[in-house]
């Protein structure tokens, strides 16, 4: 970008502004700014990467699939239809991407002070080279500029891996996924760079819609006839092995609760069979889901796959919206859950196992200090995930460090782990984290709590070294 162009992004953005801290923060940030990106918890579609086609238009890339953005517009009265969010009944919604983009641009003011604004500005200027400030007036001009970029070969999905400085990117894949896109990518030399992640929720939540189909699909994929608990476990173990062979580093668990109740095999089998018959009750289903977390920890302690736990979100809060629009359109709301008592069965069994790496995420700040940091600060298996989802924000990141470091230090956190389906925004998210951690460390330096050289080393560890090491596959004898 030419320095003569108007700029939206300031080079010191998000660094502390006070004069005793800013120069220190700049120095720390300069050590991490250009580090490659380790993106171990993304939701980018592997098939999209494998297809490697140009993105269609600015709206379908940047607006329609972004639930942060859609929910904010909806909250101020913009209908889902105007934003082109598809209806499950196939009914008509806005299809002109320019109109959708205009609806977004004309409400840009709503995003003041939000991470969406920062991510979007980063995507526009740093990734797409579009520096004009968004508004109703500039909507068309910016739309055209983006569309022009998307037509260039350098902005195709696989080429972007370099432009975005992504060293490794994990996708999210169901237990019945054939991993064909990953095989395809591996055949083209991307096997170490784009890796799958096993998300087993659809086969462990026995009362979820479509559970039997998911289990059947998993069995078919594993070549195992799943008829009881034992064959079910065998199928999961088979899929873990297949994921591992395809380069997977981790599993990802998004249940409502963090329960890890342990059932004996007879009880587990009884519930499993009832579920197959469609006769399972909610209490048994919750117990089974909790039991499976402990089982997955047992498997992880054998195969070394990192176990990522993301509980505490009540999905599809509005039933009518769920019926008409489906999942992931902004109606998932955090709820208060317990971690301490819930995780006790799992941690009592595997919390000291040298192979287990359990990364705990939350959307409830209250548990950072009271529950998660004390657990991570004593159990070798536990690491604190980065502030997640609604907490993936500059101020929540700062509060996270100010709250958990006392008890867990820096080295019982997982470093920065992003979580997005918005491919182009991955660098923006890492950059925010690097700036905020630089600012936090600068405060420690300015208050004479940490020497500068240790602060710089810590920043590099958080941005790169820790996640790189944490998600490294188990070395086999």
Give, as ranges, the residues between 363 and 402 that touch its own copies (CB under 8 A). 363-366, 369-371, 373-380, 382, 390-391, 393-396, 401-402
User: Contact between 3 and its own copies (CB under 8 A)?
Assistant: no
User: Contact between 405 and its own copies (CB under 8 A)?
Assistant: yes
Region near its own copies per CB under 8 A, out of 27-35, 43-51, 140-148, 334-342:
334-342
* Of 237, 235, 228, residue with least CA distance to 277: 228
Q: How far is the CB of 222 from its own copies (least distance, A)?
A: 34
Work out which of 82, 183, 338, 421 binds its own copies, going by CB under 8 A: 338
Instruction: Supply the DSSP symbol for 232.
Output: H
**CB neighbour burial string for 383-409, b if at least 16 within 10 angstroms, e if fewer:** bbbbbbbbbbbbebbbbbbebbbebbe
* Of 460, 466, 461, residue with least CA distance to 306: 466
Q: In angstroms, rounded to a whole number, what is the distance separating the alpha carbons of residues 310 and 359? A: 9
Start-end of H helices in 246-318: 265-276, 282-303
Give the H or E element holding residue 141.
helix 139-150
For 247-264, the DSSP string reads T--EEEE--S--------
Work out which of 159, 454, 469, 472 binds its own copies, going by CB under 8 A: 454
Separation in Å, CA 40 to CA 248, 252, 395, 437, 464? 10, 10, 22, 19, 11
User: Contact between 114 and its own copies (CB under 8 A)?
Assistant: yes
User: Contact between 347 and its own copies (CB under 8 A)?
Assistant: yes
User: Contact between 23 and its own copies (CB under 8 A)?
Assistant: no
Q: How far is the CB of 477 from its own copies (least distance, A)?
A: 18
Q: How far is the CB of 237 from its own copies (least distance, A)?
A: 26
User: Contact between 137 and its own copies (CB under 8 A)?
Assistant: no
Q: Is 359 helix (H, G, I), strand (E, B) or coil?
A: strand
User: Contact between 446 and its own copies (CB under 8 A)?
Assistant: yes
Q: How far is the CB of 450 from its own copies (least distance, A)?
A: 6
Rg (CA), the chain: 23
Distance in angstroms between the alpha carbons of the first and the last residue of the chain? 49
Burial of 251: CB neighbours in 10 Å, binned 0-12, 13-18, 19+: buried
Region near its own copies per CB under 8 A, out of 83-91, 226-234, 303-311, 339-347:
339-347
213-272 residues in contact with its own copies (CB under 8 A) are none
Region near its own copies per CB under 8 A, out of 28-36, 88-96, 272-280, 340-348:
340-348
Q: In angstroms, rounded to a whole number, what is the distance separating the alpha carbons of residues 243 and 220? A: 15
Q: Give the count of residues interacting with its own copies (CB under 8 A).
A: 89
- 350: number of Cβ within 10 Å: 20
Region near its own copies per CB under 8 A, out of 34-42, 257-265, 296-304, 330-338:
330-338
Region near its own copies per CB under 8 A, out of 161-169, 281-289, 298-306, 349-357:
349-357
Q: How far is the CB of 151 from its own copies (least distance, A)?
A: 31
Separation in Å, CA 426 to CA 16, 123, 422, 466? 23, 9, 7, 18
Q: How far is the CB of 317 from its own copies (least distance, A)?
A: 6
- Beta carbon nearer to its own copies, 88 or 230: 88
- Beta carbon nearer to its own copies, 48 or 452: 452
66-95 residues in contact with its own copies (CB under 8 A) are 71-72, 74-77
User: Contact between 282 and its own copies (CB under 8 A)?
Assistant: no
- Beta carbon nearer to its own copies, 101 or 368: 368
User: Contact between 459 and its own copies (CB under 8 A)?
Assistant: no
Q: In angstroms, rounded to a whole number, what is the distance separating the alpha carbons of residues 205 and 305? A: 21
* CB-CB contact of 397 with 387 (8 Å): yes
Report phi then psi at 57, rounded to 5: -165, 165
- Beta carbon nearer to its own copies, 245 or 320: 320
Region near its own copies per CB under 8 A, out of 18-26, 35-43, 180-188, 256-264:
18-26
Q: How far is the CB of 353 from its own copies (least distance, A)?
A: 11
Work out which of 2, 6, 10, 89 binds its own copies, going by CB under 8 A: 10
């Amino acid at each position: 970008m030419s320095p003569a162009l108007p700029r939206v992004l300031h080079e010191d953005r998000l660094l502390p502004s006070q004069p005793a801290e800013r120069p220190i923060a700049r120095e720390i940030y300069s050590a991490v700014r250009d580090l490659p990106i380790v993106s171990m918890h993304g939701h980018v579609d592997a098939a999209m990467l494998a297809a490697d086609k140009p993105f269609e238009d600015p709206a379908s890339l940047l607006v329609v699939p972004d639930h942060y953005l859609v929910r904010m517009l909806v909250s101020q009265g913009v209908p889902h239809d105007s934003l082109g969010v598809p209806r499950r009944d196939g009914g008509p919604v806005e299809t002109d991407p320019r109109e959708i983009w205009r609806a977004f641009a004309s409400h840009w003011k709503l995003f003041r002070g939000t991470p969406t604004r920062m991510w979007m500005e980063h995507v526009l200027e740093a990734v797409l080279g579009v520096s004009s400030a968004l508004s109703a007036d500039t909507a068309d001009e910016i739309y055209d500029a983006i569309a022009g970029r998307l037509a260039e070969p350098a902005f195709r999905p696989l080429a972007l891996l370099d432009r975005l400085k992504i060293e490794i990117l994990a996708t999210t894949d169901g237990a019945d996924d054939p991993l064909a896109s990953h095989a395809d990518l591996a055949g083209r030399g991307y096997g170490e760079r784009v890796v799958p992640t096993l998300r087993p929720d659809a086969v462990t939540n026995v009362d979820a819609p479509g559970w039997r189909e998911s289990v059947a699909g998993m069995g078919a994929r594993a070549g195992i006839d799943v008829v009881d608990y034992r064959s079910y476990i065998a199928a999961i173990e088979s899929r873990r092995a297949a994921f591992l062979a395809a380069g997977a580093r981790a599993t990802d668990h998004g249940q409502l609760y963090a329960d890890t109740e342990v059932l004996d095999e007879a009880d587990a089998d009884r519930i499993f069979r009832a579920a197959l018959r469609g006769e399972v009750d909610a209490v048994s289903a919750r117990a089974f889901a909790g039991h499976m977390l402990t089982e997955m920890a047992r498997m992880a302690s054998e195969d070394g796959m990192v176990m990522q736990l993301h509980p505490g979100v009540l999905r599809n809060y509005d039933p009518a919206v769920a019926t008409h629009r489906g999942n992931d359109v902004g109606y998932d709301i955090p709820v208060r859950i317990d971690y301490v008592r819930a995780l006790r069965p799992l941690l009592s069994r595997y919390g000291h196992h040298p192979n287990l790496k359990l990364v705990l995420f939350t959307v409830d700040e209250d548990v950072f200090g009271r529950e998660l940091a004390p657990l991570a600060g004593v159990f070798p298996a536990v690491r604190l995930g980065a502030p997640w989802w609604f907490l993936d924000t500059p101020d929540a990141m700062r509060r996270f460090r100010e709250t958990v470091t006392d008890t867990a230090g820096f080295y019982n956190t997982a470093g920065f782990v992003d979580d997005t389906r918005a491919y182009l925004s991955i660098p923006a998210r890492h950059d925010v984290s690097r700036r905020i951690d630089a600012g936090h460390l600068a405060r420690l330096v300015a208050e004479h709590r940490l020497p500068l050289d240790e602060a710089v080393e810590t920043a590099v560890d958080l941005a790169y070294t820790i996640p790189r090491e944490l998600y490294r596959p188990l070395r086999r004898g």
